[in-house]
Amino acid sequence: MPTIVACFKWVVDEAYIRKGSDGKLDFSSVDYKIGEYDRNAIEEAVRLRDAGGGGSVIGVTVGTPESAKGVKDGLSRGMDQAYFAADAAFRDLEPSQTAGILAEVIRTRIPQYDLITCGEGSSDLYAQQVGPRLAELLGIPCVCFVQKLSLEGGKLRAERRVEDGVEVVEAPLPAVVTVLPDINTPRIPGVKDTLMAGKKPATTIKKGELAGSFDGVLKTAAMTASSMERTGEKLAADAAGIARFVDSLRKRGVIG
Amino acid sequence: MAGVWIIAETREQALELLGAGRSLAPDMGAAITTIVKKETAPPEEYISCGADEVLQLPALPPDQPFGAFLPVIEQEVKAGSPDLILFNATARGKEMAARLASRLGCGLCSSCTALAFDKSSGSVVMERLAYGGAAIQKLTSSAKTVIITVPPRSFEPAQPLEGRQGKTRELASPPASAVRIIERKPKEKIAKDITEARVIVCAGRGFDKKEDLALARELADALGGELGATRPLTEEVHWLPEDLCIGLSGVQVKPELYVGLGVSGQVQHMTGVRGAKVVCAVNRDENAPIFPLCDFGIVGNLYDVVPKLIAELKK
């Protein structure tokens, strides 16, 4: 019966980011969510637990204290318990810092585990580093970009997608995997799941309770809104609109 | 002397990274070291294309993944202490870059979109997309060494120069990796590479069923273009192969014309068509996010609009 650690991140929902008049990012009306790819990591952990006839899924996340909502959200997706490394300083962390904190939590709080699942990348930075960095810090094997996964006899078997095809690999446990979005379809938590999530054990760990300074090495010199706006001429679906549409494309020289 | 190192699996990847490395190395006063699989090409080719030193990776047993080279590469990098290490942002490149960064305790700029050397501060300035493409993040590193992964086709491949000389050394075979490959399934060759297409008609979630994609294909044919797709179509319903997925987690395209059919216009997708000359959309929801992000958009049901469009194009 496997013990599986699922890593996830509570992130800004990028759909609500606006471009301010000064070209800066406007976060004033943003909402937050569990990273899209992390939902697959949680689902896969839960699926493997259930396929293994029991065991447990332990969620681990890092963030500012406001991310507590994300812990409950994560627990509503089928995990059994969660560790939340929370500190006001844990804001805008770079991947090396996130991996360092996760590794320290796992090392000191979860004495035995078989597998760690991560998403292929976070929804906000999408740097795709935390999984492989975590494996290195814990000194265990790592298999990234997995589209199919099973556990058997102290080993994992995974299909990892690479540019020239698929590699079917085996690795001894414990190991880290990062999963692709099409490995499963994440559940949508119902009211009952949300109510049950409130009763599951969640442990908050402050920065002072962890050994390590978790300093970063990269400096974000600027974070600016990218400009994707175009002229945005809206045309009606009638004969005049369609004629104008085709005429416009001819004038721009993009069709013959 | 400062060093720019490139680490690649294939000849094409190595030449692209040499193109990137050569754009920076003179200003940095750096020599270029290339680590590449020995079987890819003779070292003279890499040397003529800008490498000052070629470190060849020996052939691996068939069950060993590219990641097995990590300890050998780590040892060389630690001895050479380069300023900048470039990898391709491929699945294997991204994994190796992150693991090496962890071992070196250095920063990694993933999927770098712009790269420059700032002479006044003596630092490499890197740019990448964040928040699904809604933001551009500009980064510098406080550690001596920084690693960068570069998406395919970001740089022109380096061209050979006359009379260049360099050194070559073959690296030792690595110890066996704990991860073993038990089977390789090569990809079925897809017919077309949409990153090269002049016109792309992209199908989105506005299509009700797979058979209806014939309509998108028909429009693509009328425009002399190729079919592309949004992520839900390739990864959720699997109506089209993953190679056709446009966006942050798929391919970046630069066609003359992009036409999104039933594409809502999520930022992760639209960031993949940033390089298109003209962006068009057909969507029945007039408040769809794609409208402000396109040049011309028709508000209407694609099932009604596309046949009319095809008829108009044939006039």
Place of tokens 């998108």: B216
C-alpha–C-alpha distance, residues B290 and B267, integer Å: 9
Per residue in B197-219, is it b (16+ CB within 10 Å) or e — as a string?
A: bebbbbbbbbbeeeebbebbeeb
pLDDT on residue B193: 81
Query: Which residue among A162, A167, A220 sits closest to B137, beta carbon to beta carbon?
Result: A220
The pTM (predicted TM-score) of the whole model is 0.91
C-alpha–C-alpha distance, residues A157 and A41, integer Å: 16
Tokens of A33: 């969510």
With CA atoms as reference, report the closest residue to A133 among A172, A105, A155, A102.
Answer: A102
Strand pairing partners for A176? A116, A142
Q: Is B118 in CB contact (< 8 Å) with chain A?
A: no
As a whole-number percent, the residues of chain A with pLDDT over 70 amount to 100
Are B293 and A228 inside 8 Å of each other by CB? yes
Instruction: State the DSSP H helix or E strand holding residue A204, giving kind and residue range, or none if neither.
Output: strand A202-206
User: Using one digit for the tens of pLDDT, what is the confidence trace for A78-124?
Assistant: 999 999 999 999 999 999 999 999 999 999 999 999 999 999 999 99
Q: Is A249 in CB contact (< 8 Å) with chain B?
A: yes
Sheet holding B84-88, edge to edge: B107-109, B146-150, B84-88, B2-8, B30-37, B53-57, B167-170
The sign one gets for the Cα dihedral B298, B302, B306, B312 is negative
Query: Which residue among B177, B236, B295 sits closest to A230, beta carbon to beta carbon?
Result: B295
Place of tokens 């000359």: B277
The whole-angstrom distance between residue B109's C-alpha and the CA centroid of its chain comes to: 14
3-state helix, strand, coil in chain B (%, to 5): 35, 30, 35
In order along its 315 residues, chain B shows pLDDT tens digits of 789 999 999 999 999 999 999 999 999 999 999 999 999 999 999 999 999 999 999 999 999 999 999 999 999 999 999 999 999 999 999 999 999 999 999 999 999 999 999 999 999 999 999 999 999 999 999 999 999 999 988 889 999 999 999 999 999 999 999 999 999 999 876 657 898 899 999 999 999 999 999 999 999 999 999 999 999 999 889 999 888 999 988 888 999 999 999 999 999 999 999 989 999 999 999 999 999 999 999 999 999 999 999 999 988
pLDDT on residue B154: 83
- Sequence length of chain B is 315
Which of A126, A133, A149 is the mutation pick for testing B, counting most B CBs within 10 A? Answer: A126
* Residue A52 identity (one-letter amino acid): G
Are B292 and A232 inside 8 Å of each other by CB? yes
Measure Cα distances from B308 to B201, B220, B278, B284, B313 in Å: 16, 14, 20, 15, 9
pLDDT at residue A227 tops 90: no
If contacts are CB pairs under 8 Å, which of residues 229-288 in chain B contact chain A? 231, 235-236, 238, 242, 248-249, 256-257, 266-268, 270-271, 274, 277-280, 286
Establish whether this prediction's ipTM goes over 0.90: yes
Q: Which residues of A touch B249 (CB under 8 A)?
A: 120-121, 126, 181
Q: What is the pLDDT of chain A when averaged over all its residues?
A: 95
SS3 (DSSP) at B132: helix
pLDDT on residue B190: 63
Query: Which residue among B138, B224, B274 sits closest to A222, beta carbon to beta carbon?
Result: B138
Place of tokens 């301010």: A20
First to last CA, chain B: 65
If contacts are CB pairs under 8 Å, which of residues 119-148 in chain B contact chain A? 125, 128-143, 146
Nearest residue in A to B289, CA atom: A15
> Angle formed by the axes of helices A95-109 and A130-138, to 10°?
40
Q: Is A38 in CB contact (< 8 Å) with chain B?
A: no
Which of A26, A97, A242 is the mutation pick for testing B, counting most B CBs within 10 A? Answer: A242
* Residue B92 identity (one-letter amino acid): R
Are B295 and A168 inside 8 Å of each other by CB? no
C-alpha–C-alpha distance, residues B151 and A55, integer Å: 40
Are A15 and B266 inside 8 Å of each other by CB? yes
Tokens of B109: 């700029």
Tokens of A24: 């800066």
pLDDT on residue B46: 98
* Angstroms from A54 CA to nearest CA on chain B: 26
Are B99 and A143 inside 8 Å of each other by CB? no
User: Using one digit for the tens of pLDDT, what is the confidence trace for A207-220?
Assistant: 999 999 999 999 99
Nearby residues of A37 by Cβ (< 8 Å), 6 or more positions away: A119, A120, A121, A122, A123, A179, A181
* Angstroms from A50 CA to nearest CA on chain B: 23
Assess contact for B292 and B269: CB atoms under 8 A: no
Q: Which residues of B touch A256 (CB under 8 A)?
A: 224
Q: Which residues of B touch A145 (CB under 8 A)?
A: 91, 95
Which of A124, A136, A218, A233 is the mutation pick for testing B, counting most B CBs within 10 A? Answer: A218
Strand pairing partners for B199? B257
Backbone angles phi, psi at B9, to 5 degrees: -95, -40
Are A126 and B135 inside 8 Å of each other by CB? no
Using alpha carbons only, how large is chain B's radius of gyration in Å?
22
User: Using one digit for the tens of pLDDT, what is the confidence trace for A142-180?
Assistant: 999 999 999 999 999 999 999 999 999 999 999 999 999
Q: Would you call the peptide bond into A174 cis, given omega within 30 degrees of 0 as the criterion?
A: yes
Q: Is A252 in CB contact (< 8 Å) with chain B?
A: yes
Nearby residues of A194 by Cβ (< 8 Å), 6 or more positions away: A72, A76
Tokens of B122: 């003596």
Strand pairing partners for A236? B299
Q: Which residues of B touch A127 (CB under 8 A)?
A: 108, 110-111, 128
